Amino acid sequence: MPLAPSKLTSFANKLSCELVRHRLIFMLFGIAIGLLSVEQSRHLEYSQSIDAMFDRSDSALPPFHRLGRTFSASSIVLAVYDEPELFQLTGFSRLEELTKRLSELPGVHAATSLATTPLGSGIIDTENNSTAENLVRLMEGYTVGTDRQTAAVVCVLSEKEQPTIEQSTAQQDRTGKTIDAIRAIMQEYPAGTIAGESVMLRDGFAMLRRDGNVLGITAGLLASVVLLVLFRSIRWLFAPLAVVVLALWSTRGLLATVGQKITMVSTMLSAMITVVAIATTVHIIVEFRRRLNDGEAPQQALTNTLRTLFWPIIGAIITDIIGFGSLIASNVGPVHDFGIMTVIGAAMVLVAVGLVIPWFALVGQNSTTNRDRQGEEHLDTYLNHLVYRITQHPKPILFCSLAIIAFAGVGLFQLQVETDFTKNFRPTSPIVKSYDMVESRLGGAGVWDILIPVKQPIDAKDLGRIRDLESRIRNESTAETTTQGLTKVLSIVDLLDAISPVPLAELQNSPVGNMMVGTAVSVFQQQLPQLATSLIGTDPLDNSTWLRVMLRAREKQPAFLKRLLINRVRMTVTELFPQTTTTPAGEVTGFFVLLAQLVERMIQDQWLTFLIAAVGIFIFLSIGFQSVIIGGITLIPNTLPIVFILGILGWVGEPINMGTAMIAAVSLGLSVDSSIHYTTAFRRHLYQQGLITEALQAAHQTAGRAMIFSTLALVVGFLALTTSEFIPTVSFGRLSCLTLLGGLLGNLLVLPVLLSLAARRFHWAS
């Protein structure tokens, strides 16, 4: 990079001259690319499937797919409303009408409520009918609140078996329209609302679409306004913004062309492109203005600027690509896809800079122009004073840095994972309010399932084993605290016990008992067909029969309690229904389980991707600077803020979500850009002047100044992300600001100390 071979240097000189000489042609070409990209990006699609969040080989997916195939029930919407007259004919009639309306909606496979029982309106006569009382008690927490004044309709959404990519997109659209239709109907009822993991995904993606269309451009605009204030030139308002817009739209157009879909974390794409674009542009601006103030003609100053910064910019973009590209190693679908998108985005920033900046830098420029730097003299003085402090007291700076990092590093082992999906939204969000209502009145909005394989015909022994399973998980889930326990367990056993005149527990595995069980199951399937198809199903792939145990748990509970509950249920199922030579093992699945695993797997992948990014960047820097020592020195100041920030999160007990799970690898790729520019400037001036202090001062006045300006602009720009309704985006924006500021301190304090010590130790100036 700083010491490029002669052929590479010649290439940089030639390309720099061509970019300046034919700047108008390149600008027009950039406009054409932008217009084509805007049109092409209209075809960019959003992937809203839970499947897309996992690797296709993930062991959690087959049971979830079986649930959808066998019961058409992998997506459930809870429609809840206030009904004080539920156990009166007027209130029950309203519930009947609502249930019918919801069941007739396109995309609703089945709608279950108190109105779908064989007792009809007789179920409200709980005082005189013991069967009615048993059924109502059984359905409490499922279709009726424990206060018996809250009514719920469980809507099972239709899903196609193993859809193709095109079918999956169409199915997502249909599912979204179905959810919107259910919500519209429920708004007609008192306190009517809907909940469910599929609803959260739907609303979450709606928020992400709004964020993706607004926040990226807003962040770029805010950053450009800051640069306008700093540089006091209208051209430096529009030039960085033009780079951001062209890079962003060309990236989106390219993604649409190759069929890549936007996922849940892709909102940050615009932010990443903004960071790379602003940082690259500011380094060019600072060097260009410096040369103008030194008396160079504008065209020559720009040519020399591009020639000087050519390889540092290329190196910075490559480190961005390495940092972003490390995310491709993740097994979590959105993170993997985000890695691909940001790699393309970083590459398009390089293209956009070459096409746009030369024209903007020179349009309207006269001959030699001395830019007004009034007010910047204070910054020059401060930077020179900082260099003096660094050269006089290097060891205290290092010791203090190491002490802070050692303290913060301990917090890494205390990081907690946020698996409560409602925490991805603001407390005032309608989604959170809906979940609060469901959790408080129905007991739990976390819907999940146990699938048990059985042979036909179903006999008393099968039901007995299901009863034993339910008894175990009910007792075990409430063994410690009610918060972490199951709020509802429902299977065919419970329903048959409620409606059968003969206690099924008394039946043995005898011909008579099995005959009675078979008769009871047949009656159940005839009188309660909707519930029957939800609890007894056949997998069309292998014609195997499965019984379903429907579970409810509180969505709003700490991650470790949720994990403990899921693991306990899974262990019990494995113990009672192990795999044999003739039957598969029992399975635990559902949105509740998948979403609980998702962020944990993102966190696990975070350290893998960070390691890949660190090793990849270290190797590249060592080769680029032709020194392993410089490669390590350049990397160190950029890992410190990451360790510090994540460690502090661990100390204060702040759970990390999807937005923070990628921050390590991404931040390393971003912050090392400034280190490359600083180290290159330091070495260039060191070889020219031979004095360490003067070389540090020159690096501070060029690369250091650019770092300060770009960081200030980006921090202000990233404040736009904190206005998002999606909390992971807020977290990502907030932590990105902190890592950018930390990287700035590291590159202005720690990096100069390490470079000066290494220069003296290895006599670089000689």
Asked, as a colleague might, if the bond just before 457 is cis with ω within 30 of 0, I would say yes
Q: pLDDT value at position 3?
A: 43
Does residue 195 fall inside a structural domain?
A: no
Looking at the structure, do residues 97 and 183 belong to the same domain, yes or no?
A: yes
Over pLDDT 70: what percentage of the chain?
88
Distance of CA 646 to the CA centre of its chain: 17
The torsion of the CA quartet 642, 648, 654, 655, rounded to 10 degrees, works out to: 40
Largest CA distance in the chain: 105
Does residue 1 fall inside a structural domain?
A: no
Mean pLDDT score across all residues of the chain: 83
**pLDDT > 90? residue 424:** no
Distance CA 165, CA 6 (A): 50
pTM, rounded to two decimals: 0.80
- Kind and range of the H or E run holding 511: helix 511-527
- Give the domain-ending residue among 537, 562, 596: 596
Contact predicate 553/481, CB 8 Å: no
Q: What is the 3-state secondary structure (H, E, C) of 731-759?
A: HHHHHHHHHHHHHHHHHHHHHHHHHHHHH
Q: Where would I find the beta strands (DSSP E) of 580-679?
A: 587-589
Looking at the structure, do residues 651 and 737 belong to the same domain, yes or no?
A: yes
Q: pLDDT value at position 508?
A: 57
Categorize the per-residue pLDDT at 101 as very low, low, confident or very high, splitting at 50, 70 and 90: very high
CATH of the domain at 13: 1.20.1640.10
Distance CA 378, CA 496 (A): 83
Q: How deeply is 746 buried, as exposed, middle or buried, from its count of CB atoms within 10 A (0-12, 13-18, 19+)?
A: buried
**Choice among 113-122, 508-517, 562-571, 695-704 with the minimum mean pLDDT:** 508-517
Does residue 583 fall inside a structural domain?
A: yes
Calculate the alpha carbon distances from 539 to 129, 453, 531, 577 in Å.
Answer: 37, 10, 17, 18
Question: Using one digit for the tens of pLDDT, what is the confidence trace for 256-274?
Answer: 888 887 776 666 788 788 8
Determine phi and psi for 666, rounding to 5 degrees.
-65, -45
24-49 mean pLDDT: 88
Q: Which residue has the higher pLDDT, 379 or 52?
A: 379
Contacts of 217 (CB under 8 A, 6+ apart): 244, 245, 248, 270
Looking at the structure, do residues 99 and 167 belong to the same domain, yes or no?
A: yes
Does residue 197 fall inside a structural domain?
A: no
**Choice among 415-419, 625-629, 683-687 with the minimum mean pLDDT:** 415-419
Contact predicate 482/526, CB 8 Å: no
Distance CA 293, CA 300 (A): 13
Q: pLDDT value at position 29?
A: 95
Nearest to 319 by CA among 729, 758, 623, 710: 623
**pLDDT > 60? residue 749:** yes
Distance CA 368, CA 301 (A): 9
Nearest to 642 by CA among 599, 606, 598: 606
Categorize the per-residue pLDDT at 37 as very low, low, confident or very high, splitting at 50, 70 and 90: very high
- Give the domain-ending residue among 596, 624, 641: 596
**pLDDT > 80? residue 290:** yes
- Give the domain-ending residue among 596, 612, 642: 596
Looking at the structure, do residues 229 and 178 belong to the same domain, yes or no?
A: no
Categorize the per-residue pLDDT at 593 as very low, low, confident or very high, splitting at 50, 70 and 90: confident
**pLDDT > 80? residue 499:** no
Calculate the alpha carbon distances from 207 to 72, 212, 425, 551, 725 in Å.
Answer: 27, 9, 10, 29, 7
Distance CA 138, CA 335 (A): 42
Calculate the alpha carbon distances from 540 to 66, 375, 546, 759 in Å.
Answer: 9, 75, 11, 71
84-108 mean pLDDT: 92
Looking at the structure, do residues 403 and 327 belong to the same domain, yes or no?
A: yes
Does residue 516 fall inside a structural domain?
A: yes
Question: Using one digit for the tens of pLDDT, what is the confidence trace for 547-592?
Answer: 999 888 887 777 778 888 888 999 999 999 998 888 889 999 988 8
Distance CA 610, CA 666 (A): 8
For 504, left (φ over 0), alpha (ψ -120 to 50), or beta?
Answer: alpha
Contact predicate 671/747, CB 8 Å: yes
Contact predicate 721/215, CB 8 Å: yes
Q: Where would I find the beta strands (DSSP E) of 514-568?
A: 536-539, 544-553
Distance CA 520, CA 513 (A): 10
**pLDDT > 90? residue 764:** no
- Kind and range of the H or E run holding 490: strand 486-490
Looking at the structure, do residues 560 and 591 belong to the same domain, yes or no?
A: yes
Looking at the structure, do residues 717 and 658 belong to the same domain, yes or no?
A: yes
DSSP string, 281-334: HHHHHHHHHHHHHTT--HHHHHHHHHHHHHHHHHHHHHHHHHHHHGGGG-SSHH
Does residue 662 fall inside a structural domain?
A: yes
**Choice among 410-424, 453-467, 476-490 with the minimum mean pLDDT:** 476-490
Q: Where would I find the beta strands (DSSP E) of 49-192?
A: 76-82, 108-112, 150-157
**pLDDT > 50? residue 91:** yes
Q: pLDDT value at position 751?
A: 92
Residue type (1 letter), 36: L
The torsion of the CA quartet 743, 749, 750, 753, rounded to 10 degrees, works out to: 150
- Name the most confidently modeled range: 408-422, 603-617, 654-668: 603-617
Does residue 582 fall inside a structural domain?
A: yes
Q: pLDDT value at position 688?
A: 82
Return the percent helix, strand and coil in the chain, to nearest 5: 70, 10, 20
Looking at the structure, do residues 459 and 370 belong to the same domain, yes or no?
A: no
Looking at the structure, do residues 510 and 625 belong to the same domain, yes or no?
A: no
Instruction: State whether residue 80 is helix, strand or coil.
Output: strand
Distance CA 601, CA 38 (A): 35
Looking at the structure, do residues 633 and 735 belong to the same domain, yes or no?
A: yes
Instruction: State whether residue 446 is helix, strand or coil.
Output: strand
Distance CA 627, CA 81 (A): 68
Distance CA 719, CA 533 (A): 50
Q: pLDDT value at position 576?
A: 92
Contacts of 407 (CB under 8 A, 6+ apart): 647
**Choice among 24-38, 649-663, 680-694 with the minimum mean pLDDT:** 649-663
Distance of CA 406 to the CA centre of its chain: 29
Looking at the structure, do residues 589 and 615 belong to the same domain, yes or no?
A: no
**pLDDT > 80? residue 746:** yes
381-402 mean pLDDT: 85
- How is residue 82 written in tokens? 């206030």
34-59 mean pLDDT: 79
Task: Identify the bridge partners of residue 421 per DSSP, sorted by sequence position.
Answer: none
Number of separate domains in the chain: 3
**pLDDT > 70? residue 500:** no
Looking at the structure, do residues 57 and 13 belong to the same domain, yes or no?
A: no
Contacts of 86 (CB under 8 A, 6+ apart): 92, 95, 114, 124, 144, 148, 149, 150, 151
Nearest to 34 by CA among 184, 247, 182: 247
Distance CA 508, CA 517 (A): 10
Instruction: State whether residue 425 is helix, strand or coil.
Output: strand
Q: Which domain covers residue 583, as residue numbers?
A: 431-596
Does residue 667 fall inside a structural domain?
A: yes
